[in-house]
Amino acid sequence: EIVLTQSPGTLSLSPGERATLSCRASQSVSSSYLAWYQQKPGQAPRLLIYGASSRATGIPDRFSGSGSGTDFTLTISRLDPEDFAVYYCQQYGSSLLTFGGGTKVEIK
Amino acid sequence: QVQVVQSGAEVKKPGASVKVSCKASGYTFTKYYIHWVRQAPGQGLQWMGLINPGGGTTSYAQKFQGRVTMTRDTSTSTVYMEVSSLRSEDTAVYYCAREYIYGSFDHWGQGTLVTVSS
C-alpha cells in the first residue's frame, strides 16, 4: 500500500498570502492518478485537482498542482477567505486507493 | 445535473450490520464506478472500496475484506454498502463518490453518519 504523507499538518496564513502544501508518497505514483481535495467542516470533500495538475470543473485558477514520482505540491497563489479548510491528496494505483492525512489551512 | 444522494443517519449496536444506500441521477449510472470512503470523527478520509455499477464487480480495501459488501440495483440507479459486525471504531460518516477520471471523485454524496453504540 502506498502511504501518502502530507506536510505541514497545519498552515497558518493570512488572506492574500501564498499557500504551498506538500504530499509525499512512500513509492512512485503515476501522475495521472494523483488528486487533491478541499474539505470544509460538515461538508463532503470537493475535487480540486486531478492528474496531478488538471483543475476540476469550476475550480479557480489560483489553485494549481504540480509534481511527479513521489513528490507533489498543491499551491494556492493568493488565499481567499473561503480557502481556509483541510486539504487532502489521494492516489490510485493497482486497484488500491489511499489518502494523505490532510493539511489544515487556518487563518493566522 | 449529476446528483448522488445517500440514505439517512443510523444508530446501531455493536455486532449489528448497517446498509447505506447511494442513489445516483443525472448521468448514465452504469458508466462510472462508485467508491465508498469513510471519515471517523475528527479524522481523515479512509477508502473502503469500489463497485462497477455496470457489471457489479467490486474491489475492497484489505482492511474491510470480509466485513463489507457493495451491491447495486441498476433499475433504481442505487448502490448499497453493508458493513457487518459493527464495532465502536466504525462510528463515522460514510460517503459514496463517483469516480470521474483516473481515480478522482467529482461528485460526492452528502454523507451518512453511522453511530455504533451500546
Chain A residue with Cα closest to B4? A44
pLDDT one-digit tens code per residue, A11-36 = 999 999 999 999 999 999 987 899 99
Interface contacts (A, B; CB < 8 Å): 64
- pLDDT, residue A95, reads 77
- The answer to whether A96 contacts chain B (CB < 8 Å) is yes
- CB-based contact B47 A99, cutoff 8 Å: yes
Over residues B33-61, mean pLDDT: 97
Over residues B1-12, mean pLDDT: 98
- pLDDT, residue A31, reads 78
| A97, A98, A99, A103: best to mutate for the B interface, most B CBs within 10 A | A97
Residue A33 with chain B: CB contacts under 8 Å: 102-103
Neighbours of B98 (CB within 10 A): 23
- CB-based contact B45 A99, cutoff 8 Å: yes
pLDDT one-digit tens code per residue, A63-100 = 999 999 999 999 999 999 999 999 999 999 877 899 99
Query: In angstroms, rounded to a whole number, what is the distance separating the alpha carbons of residues A76 and A103?
Result: 13
- pLDDT, residue A1, reads 87
- The answer to whether A32 contacts chain B (CB < 8 Å) is yes
- pLDDT, residue B6, reads 98
- pLDDT, residue B63, reads 94
Residue B110 with chain A: CB contacts under 8 Å: 44
- pLDDT, residue A80, reads 97
- pLDDT, residue B52, reads 97
For the CA atoms of B39, B63, B59, B37, the dihedral, rounded to the nearest 10 degrees, stands at 0
Query: In angstroms, rounded to a whole number, what is the distance separating the alpha carbons of residues A21 and A87?
Result: 8
- The answer to whether A98 contacts chain B (CB < 8 Å) is yes
Q: How far is B50 from chain A (nearest CA, A)?
A: 9
Residue at grid coordinates 489544515: A104
- CB-based contact A45 B108, cutoff 8 Å: yes
pLDDT one-digit tens code per residue, B68-114 = 999 999 999 999 999 999 999 999 999 999 999 989 999 999 999 99
Output the nine-digit C-alpha cell for B89: 471504531
- pLDDT, residue A54, reads 96
- pLDDT, residue B69, reads 98
- pLDDT, residue B42, reads 95
